[in-house]
Amino acid sequence: MATHSVEVPEQFHQTGEQEHHAGEHPAHLAHHFDSMAQQFAAGKLGMWIFLVTEILFFGGLFCAYAVYRANHPEVFVYAHHFLHKNLGALNTAILIFSSFTMAWAVRAAQLGQQQTLRLCLIITLLCAGAFLGVKYVEYRQKWEHGLLWAGWYHPHVTDAEHHGDAPPKPVSPVTSPTAGKATTSQHTPESTAAATAGERSEYPGEPRLAGVFFSIYFCMTGLHALHVIGGMIAITWLLIRAVQGVFGPEYYGPVDYVGLYWHLVDMIWIYLFPLLYLIH
Amino acid sequence: MASQHAGQAHHAGGHVVPGYVLVAVFIALLVLTALTVAATWIDLGSGNLLVAIGIATVKAALVALFFMHLRYDHPFYGIVFTVALLFLALFLGLTLVDVRQTFPEVQAAIENPV
Amino acid sequence: MVTEVAEPKPIARATPPDYLHDGRGIWSWLFTLDHKRIGVMYLVGILTSLLLGGIFALLIRTHLAIPALVHRPGQTISTGESAAVIVGPSQPTPPGAVSSQDAAAQLTAESEAATAASTVQPTPPRYLLTPKEYNRAFTLHGAIMIFLVIIPGIPAALGNFVLPLMLGAKDVAFPRLNLMSFHLWLIGLVFFLVVLFTGGLDTGWTFYTPYSTTTDTRVTTAVVGAFILGFSSIFTGINFIATIHFLRPRGMSWFRMPLFVWSLYATAIIQVLATPVLGITLLLIALEKNFGLGIFDPKLGGDPVLFQHFFWFYSHPAVYIMILPGMGIISELVSTFSRKHIFGYRFIAFSSVAIAILGFLVWGHHMFTSGQSRLASMIFSALTFSVSIPSAIKVFNWLATMYKGRISLQTPMCYALAFILLFGIGGLTGLFLGALATDVHLHDTYFVVAHFHYVMFGGTLVAFLGGLHYWWPKMTGKMYNDTLGRLGALLIFLGLNLTFFPQFVLGTRGMPRRYFDYSSLLDRHPEFAGLNLMSTAGAYLTAIGLVVAAICLLGSLRWGKKAPPNPWGSASLEWRCPSPPPKENFLSPPIITPAFDPYDLDQVVYDPETQGYWVRQTAVT
């Protein structure tokens, strides 16, 4: 919503409030809006609707998660032990803190505190970078151990290398909690089971098709990481604009919109953390 | 007037969330994160999943209400958000209804090909 | 007391140039932020894609006429075992075989196709296309028509142009997002052209797994293209919702908006809620195909039926993205050309929203025979029937609007009448398919093909053409020849019925869709020959009708008379600015009086001098 032609002589419908008088046209008001309030509200609604699309975009993956967790509970219980719970918790804290600084950045922009605004944006950016750094460490470990999505799943981990707080509990195939659904997949004799790619039995207690978990894991966290990167680009842009000093009590819409997006990214992680790392 | 219904909420710069509220929410979010990790030490059977999702929902609600200003904004934004969640629930719900029914048959067919 | 509020004719003042002449050169178009120019660019792009998709349609129909022509009763033309080459998605593709059969070659070289055919099949039926080319042709016909033509057709082209005008606004809420949406559409088009020229696509437009993840055609490119087009659609939806919420003039409450705006609003809701799910689905397909993700592969623990859930959660609501704006156009046309206030305004408005919401509850009716559970099938079948209620509300309100109206059969009204009849047939035959039991019989037959072509072509495309003829004077400032326009409408109407009605008969008698060759069925079903020939003849008649319509419209650019601001006599706001409008749309800001009503045609007065109308907008106090 950058500056537009300012030479529009007279606004034709005064939808907004009386805050701008004839002759003084706010610098950041686009030509087709009547008032800053109207422009701000429209942009905000636009952002919220974009967040709706994001929710449904991730919704597909949450649906896939629900379906596979319902159908293969033993896989999820087994495979989540390969995720590093502490790193996940650390990342959760980092992201929550970045959300906090982002919210503070909006507040600073509203109050016209330029210094604080810049500081908050920088911290948010650093947190996002730290999040991705931790993510990289996790991904590299998965890659080295062959703990990849179903098609490329070829684990070669020794028990000592498990990252979880406990070594994977041997899941006894027959005593799976939701026996009704799960047992159908476990009656298979080893001979036929070894034939297909996703099925391994080299590890004690490894259920069939354990790669499904990592398919979901990489899709969800990968898509989330892409959103973090997108957020970093947006925040960088905000920072440049903030250094130029364009934001203030009159014009802080972009900070607010990017903030909303960033909080949604945080919110999705708030669900991903327990769903992927804390399976019991 | 309808076209400015949400606009009025932002007259003169919108609502500024008090600093102590932001700090309090931040601390609450950290505490809840610790809580959700701690909850895995207790075996509640399938209750663990419910507890985890419940805590996550409380956290998400805190973020939405305070960090995202829904608590202070015109309710329409909240409605937009809720509608998204409802349609997500619809999508998940109806798909699960079907998949839970067919999965055993599919599995059986894969393992015993005709 | 009666106060004159708006002058009958625009006040003489320094008239700004119209939007077509405000800025010159290709860049002033490609990077414009003006919603009218973006709409026109969309229109050009969509009509070009329509031409492309139409060529594929004619190719398919021509091909399918040949078995009927060469077949002699009791005498099989080719040796029995290869006569009926069933090339559904179930046929495995020979590895690395003649896949370089360039889809582009289909367009040009008939003889080449014949020689290629002789190398592919051991005893080839000498038809127009080889089996592989046939698969590519119907896939690209579907994919182009759906993703590039009818989904963006009405909202992005006509809606973009008309929506701000109807609201008396200067632009949409987010002009840059609007431009970006168009650029994304162009990129999506490029992706589909790449698919077209580098080996084609043979999965059907639905990309069903497991075939789409195993075929060696250009699935990834097409999927990425469709993903980008999805974003284009989402951005249009976001823009329209924000525009309708915030750019209505003071005094235009929700129930004083034109019904086309209501239908665009409902459409935008679907675009925003459904399209992201398509996005993630396509992403998963691409990952599955290239990296073996396994989410839809049962061997790796995945579930192919889950793909269909994902896909249809978008693609069923998407048919309402296609039809709802068309219904909105019809509401405008029926009222204007019946010279009567629209009947049941609120019912039509709410039925749009109801269709948008109910449309999300019925996706499983595409999966009755896909191995969906019986419980889910029954739920979805029952819910499917609920969609017919708001649809019927609309049809009856249109009929009631026309009742005792002064109907003038100008070109747009001819399209509107064609729409009501064709949509009626298309909608009612949908009930056969929504019913669980009959669907099992009719599934994958030509009945389905006929049904959705009646709705999509007979509905959406006819409404699109009606809207195009309606707003053409506003867009171009030129009047077209009405007689020629009506001739085009008549030919399209007749051609459509001739094409698709026989397909209902074919379908109920068991002719499966997607068959490359049906000559082996002709001995038991000799009537298939005649019905197929009728269908092909109808396709050509429709094509002639479209050519006539194109001549009529394009000819008007050169020979047409200058259009008055309000050539049809509508009371809606878009007719109160000049034709074509200047960059900021209105010379003087439209003021909404308490008496404003976009359907109050009593206030419309004919002005013989300009051969147009003006609206006596009065405020009665």
User: What are the two backbone dihedrals, phi and then psi, of residue C562, each rounded to the nearest 5 degrees?
Assistant: -70, 135
Chain C within 8 Å of A54 (Cβ-Cβ)? yes
> In chain C, what percentage of residues exceed pLDDT 70?
88
Q: C383-420 burial string, b = 16+ CB within 10 Å, else e? A: bbeebbebbebbbebbebbbeebebeebbbbbbbbbbb
In C403-523, where does DSSP find H-type helix? 411-434, 436-442, 446-455, 462-476, 482-508
Report the pLDDT value the prediction gives residue C455, as an integer from 0 to 100: 95
**Residue in C171, C277, C284 nearest the CB of A56:** C277
Complex ipTM, two decimals?
Answer: 0.87
Report the pLDDT value the prediction gives residue A230, as an integer from 0 to 100: 96
Q: Which of C11, C243, C280 to mutate to test the interface with A (most CBs of A within 10 A)?
A: C280
Read off the pLDDT of residues A9-33 as tens digits, 9 standing for 90 and up.
Answer: 333 333 433 334 444 567 788 888 8
In C477-588, where does DSSP find H-type helix? 482-508, 527-559
Report the pLDDT value the prediction gives residue C74, as an integer from 0 to 100: 62
CA distance C267 to C278: 16
**Banded model confidence at residue C231, pLDDT cuts 50, 70, 90:** very high
What is the average pLDDT across A49-59?
96
CA distance A224 to C550: 48
Q: Specify the DSSP element, H or E, that contains C621.
A: none
Q: Which of B5, B81, B98 to mutate to test the interface with C (most CBs of C within 10 A)?
A: B98
Contact A271, A87 (CB under 8 A): no
- Residue written as token pair 């120019």: C37
**pLDDT exceeds cutoff 50 at C87:** no
**pLDDT exceeds cutoff 70 at C101:** no
CA distance C591 to C588: 9
**pLDDT exceeds cutoff 60 at A160:** no
Contact A263, A50 (CB under 8 A): no
Q: What is the DSSP letter of B45?
A: T
- Record: contact A198-C241, CB cut-off 8 A: no
Angle, nearest 10°, between helix axes C259-291 and B75-111?
40
- Residue written as token pair 């949400």: B6
- Record: contact B95-C252, CB cut-off 8 A: no
Report the pLDDT value the prediction gives residue C617, as an integer from 0 to 100: 64
Chain A within 8 Å of B9 (Cβ-Cβ)? yes
Read off the pLDDT of residues C496-505 as tens digits, 9 standing for 90 and up.
Answer: 999 999 999 9
Q: Which of A16-30, A111-125, C62-76 has the lowest average pLDDT?
A: A16-30
**Banded model confidence at residue A204, pLDDT cuts 50, 70, 90:** low
**Banded model confidence at residue A77, pLDDT cuts 50, 70, 90:** confident
pTM of the model: 0.86
Q: Is A107 helix (H, G, I), strand (E, B) or coil?
A: helix
- Record: contact A151-C292, CB cut-off 8 A: yes
**Banded model confidence at residue C251, pLDDT cuts 50, 70, 90:** confident
Report the pLDDT value the prediction gives residue C39, as an integer from 0 to 100: 96
**pLDDT exceeds cutoff 60 at A163:** no
What is the average pLDDT across C273-277?
95
Chain A within 8 Å of B12 (Cβ-Cβ)? yes
Nearest-neighbour CA in chain A from B77: distance (Å): 7
**Banded model confidence at residue C596, pLDDT cuts 50, 70, 90:** confident
Q: Is C445 helix (H, G, I), strand (E, B) or coil?
A: strand
Return left, alpha or beta for B14; rule: phi > 0 is left, psi -120 to 50 is alpha, else beta. Answer: left
Nearest Cα to C11, choosing from C591, C564, C588, C562?
C588
- Record: contact C376-B98, CB cut-off 8 A: yes
Report the pLDDT value the prediction gives residue C477, as an integer from 0 to 100: 94
Read off the pLDDT of residues C281-291 as tens digits, 9 standing for 90 and up.
Answer: 999 999 999 99
Prior bond of C210 cis (ω within 30°): yes
Report the pLDDT value the prediction gives residue A196, as an integer from 0 to 100: 40
Q: What is the β-pairing status of strands C612-615 and C2-4?
A: unpaired
What is the average pLDDT across C74-99?
42
Nearest Cα to C325, choosing from C237, C399, C424?
C237
- Bigger pLDDT: C448 vs C15: C448
Contact C475, C557 (CB under 8 A): no
CA distance A84 to C460: 53
CB-based contacts of A71: which residues, under 8 Å, 6+ apart?
A181, B99, B100, B103, B107, C303
**pLDDT exceeds cutoff 60 at B78:** yes
Nearest Cα to C235, choosing from C188, C195, C282?
C188
In chain B, where does DSSP find H-type helix? 19-38, 47-62, 75-111
- Bigger pLDDT: B10 vs A55: A55
Report the pLDDT value the prediction gives residue C14, as an integer from 0 to 100: 64
Read off the pLDDT of residues B38-59 as tens digits, 9 standing for 90 and up.
Answer: 988 888 878 888 999 999 999 9
Prior bond of C512 cis (ω within 30°): no
Q: Is C72 helix (H, G, I), strand (E, B) or coil?
A: strand
> In chain A, what percentage of residues exceed pLDDT 90?
50
CA distance C376 to C305: 13
**pLDDT exceeds cutoff 70 at C561:** yes
- Record: contact A219-C175, CB cut-off 8 A: no
Report the pLDDT value the prediction gives residue C303, as an integer from 0 to 100: 84
**pLDDT exceeds cutoff 70 at C575:** yes
Q: Residues 56 to 85 of B: which have CB under 8 A from any A CB?
A: 56, 59-60, 63-64, 66-69, 76-77, 80-81, 83-85
Report the pLDDT value the prediction gives residue A14, as an integer from 0 to 100: 34
**Banded model confidence at residue B62, pLDDT cuts 50, 70, 90:** very high
CA distance C73 to C577: 64
What is the average pLDDT across C322-346?
95
Q: Specify the DSSP element, H or E, that contains C612.
A: strand C612-615
Which chains share 3+ C-beta pairs under 8 angstroms with B?
Answer: A, C
- Record: contact A215-C295, CB cut-off 8 A: yes
Three-state secondary structure string covering C78-128:
CCHHHHCCCCCCCCCCCCCCCCCCCHHHHHHCHHHHHHHHHHHCCCCCCCC
Read off the pLDDT of residues C516-526 as tens digits, 9 standing for 90 and up.
Answer: 889 888 989 99
CA distance C290 to C308: 19
Nearest Cα to C149, choosing from C268, C264, C42?
C42
CA distance C287 to A220: 13
Report the pLDDT value the prediction gives residue A158, as an integer from 0 to 100: 55
Burial of residue A6 (CB within 10 Å: 0-12, 13-18, 19+) is exposed
Contact C554, C44 (CB under 8 A): no
- Bigger pLDDT: C92 vs C303: C303
Report the pLDDT value the prediction gives residue B15, as an integer from 0 to 100: 84
Which residues on chain C are in Cβ contact (under 8 Å) with A55?
Answer: 276
Half-sphere exposure of C227 (CA within 13 A, CB side): 15
**Banded model confidence at residue B114, pLDDT cuts 50, 70, 90:** low
**pLDDT exceeds cutoff 90 at C8:** no
Read off the pLDDT of residues C153-212 as tens digits, 9 standing for 90 and up.
Answer: 999 999 999 999 999 999 999 999 999 999 999 999 999 999 999 988 999 999 998 899
CB-based contacts of A148: which residues, under 8 Å, 6+ apart?
A142, A154, A211, A214, A218
Chain B within 8 Å of C595 (Cβ-Cβ)? no
- Bigger pLDDT: A144 vs C193: C193
**Banded model confidence at residue B104, pLDDT cuts 50, 70, 90:** confident
What is the average pLDDT across A144-160?
74
- Residue written as token pair 């006596």: C616
Three-state secondary structure string covering C333-368:
HHHHHHCCCCCCHHHHHHHHHHHHHHHHHCHHHHCC
Residue B62: closest CA among chain A residues belongs to which residue?
A267
Report the pLDDT value the prediction gives residue A172, as an integer from 0 to 100: 37
**pLDDT exceeds cutoff 70 at C139:** yes
Cα angle B13, B18, B22 (rounded to 5 degrees) comes to 115
Nearest-neighbour CA in chain B from C376: distance (Å): 5
Residue A215: closest CA among chain C residues belongs to which residue?
C293
**pLDDT exceeds cutoff 70 at C396:** yes
- Record: contact B91-A59, CB cut-off 8 A: yes
